[in-house]
Amino acid sequence: MSGTAGAMGVIGPLWLMLQIEFPIFLLADALPTRKTPFLVRVLLVVALLSPVALHLIAFWGEEVDAADYLLTFGALLLLSAASVWAVFSTSIWTAFFCSSAGYTAQGFATGVQQILRSTTWYAHLPYLAGMPDDLVLLAVYIGFYLLFVRKVRKSRLELVADRRMLPAFGMCILAVIGLDVLLKQLGSQGIATSTVLALRCVHLAFCAFLLAFEYRSLVGSRLEIEAAVDRHILEERSRQYEESRLSIEAVNRRMHDIVRSTTEAARQMGALDNPQVNELLVQMVSEVNHYDAIIHTGNEALDTVLTEKSLVCESNGMSLSPIADGEALANLGPAEIYVLVGGVLDLMIGQVRRVSDPSRRDISFIVRRRESMVTITVQGYEAKREEDEKGEAHRELDRLARRVVDAHRGSVSSSAEGDTQLIVISLPTD
């Protein structure tokens, strides 16, 4: 073996493995790493992948054996998943996802290279015919990053542990690797170029299908997790609503009992003729009546949440000013009202709590019906905050709105004018 051939027998396998591992670790890069030194992680990956590398170097350039090819690259796929799991703090299912999706991207790039080499019109275009395979590889990887990796990272799907990645891993071994070795054997046996090209297109289509399947599976798993969390939250809010309703009724009864007992005690002591006592009793009755007027909106669930949040505001030196047509929310269940109204008020209370000026520590809450729509408007002052903090508040609002508003085909808008924050929820009444 000449020196050049010997060098290629080492560089070729290592370059191929780098092509495979790059998209795998590109996907895994957003995962949290384990608390081990960087050098240790690198050595661990090298140790895991070195058996396959040594095997490829030993048999590089020989005729393709289907069984050996399938076993070698199947082992590489499995060891790549083990490398991801060993380096990053994640589940084995996520490691399977990164390994199979990354390998599929490399298989797609190889398929594009083979199709371009075999296409007649491509060979007759000098500015394309001279294009190196590595440039094709780079173009495919850029597309893989823009169309797949960025979407996965944006939705944080790499953190979703989905057991469906195991069959996807198996499909990658059997179809992506298996079909690739079949195409290599057919090409060496002199099969018609058109047939090989057609099979290459099938191979590319399957690679694209597998990536789409993995993405949709992760999205579905995340939605299932969120739905389970939402159900748990709704059940918890239902329990909290019932406890709050009973507590408020008990407090209400107690307040009226205190007024009656105080009035009766004053009468028995003959103190009703005392102007100061009369003034005190009138003030007590007025406060109780004022309290009753605030919480009676025509909707028991809305009464409960408004009373609860009024007490929260009062304990924090704030005031809640509600004007609400409770009957307009009749198409929402008690738990939905508790989740939606309570969540929006909690968000606004958190903002107004930061305001230092006592005259601006007031929250306006309005529910009104407008033709076939009902609007819930919450307004309050907010302290100056950084833009990223405001964005976080908006994300919380979006998360809250999706639980109830989307189910009722409604909409949520949030706007700020100066130091005033306005949240408007619109819901159809039918």
State the Cα–Cα distance between residues 325 and 426, nearest whole angstrom: 14
What residues pair up with 112 in beta bridges, in sequence order? none
Other Cβ atoms closer than 10 A to 70: 17
Domain boundaries, given as residue ranges, for the chain = 3-230, 296-430
pLDDT tens across the length of the chain (430 residues)? 455 555 556 888 888 899 999 999 998 998 888 888 889 989 999 999 999 888 888 877 777 677 888 888 889 999 999 999 999 988 888 899 999 999 999 999 988 888 877 765 555 555 554 456 788 889 999 999 999 999 888 877 777 777 888 888 888 887 888 888 887 777 667 677 778 788 888 889 999 999 998 888 888 887 777 777 666 666 766 676 677 667 767 767 777 777 777 777 777 676 666 777 777 777 777 666 555 545 678 888 888 888 888 888 888 889 888 888 888 998 888 878 888 888 889 889 988 988 888 888 999 999 998 888 999 999 998 876 654 454 444 445 556 666 788 878 888 888 888 788 889 999 988 6
DSSP string, 281-303: HHHHHHHHHHHHHHH-SS-HHHH
Phi first, then psi: what are they for 21, rounded to 5°? -75, -25
Give the angle 192-197-203 at the CA atoms, nearest 5°.
Answer: 130
Q: Please compute, for residue 130, the number of CA atoms within 13 A of its CA located in the half-sphere on the CB side.
A: 2
Q: Which residues contact 314 (CB under 8 A, 6 or more apart)?
A: none
pLDDT of 392: 45
CA angle in degrees (0–180, nearest 5) for 142-144-150: 95
Compute the mean pLDDT over every residue in the chain, rounded to the nearest whole number: 80
pLDDT confidence of residue 115 = 82
Closest to 423 in 3D by CA, of 396, 387, 386: 396
Q: List, as one string, the DSSP characters of 301-358.
A: HHHHHHHHHHHHHHHTT-EEEEEE-GGGGTTS-HHHHHHHHHHHHHHHHHHHTT---G
Q: What is the pLDDT of residue 257?
A: 75
Per-residue pLDDT of 394-403, as tens digits, reads: 445 556 666 7
Which CATH superfamily includes the segment(s) 296-430? Histidine kinase-like ATPase, C-terminal domain (3.30.565.10)
262-293 pLDDT, tens digit each: 777 777 676 666 777 777 777 777 666 555 54
Q: What is the DSSP letter of 33?
A: B
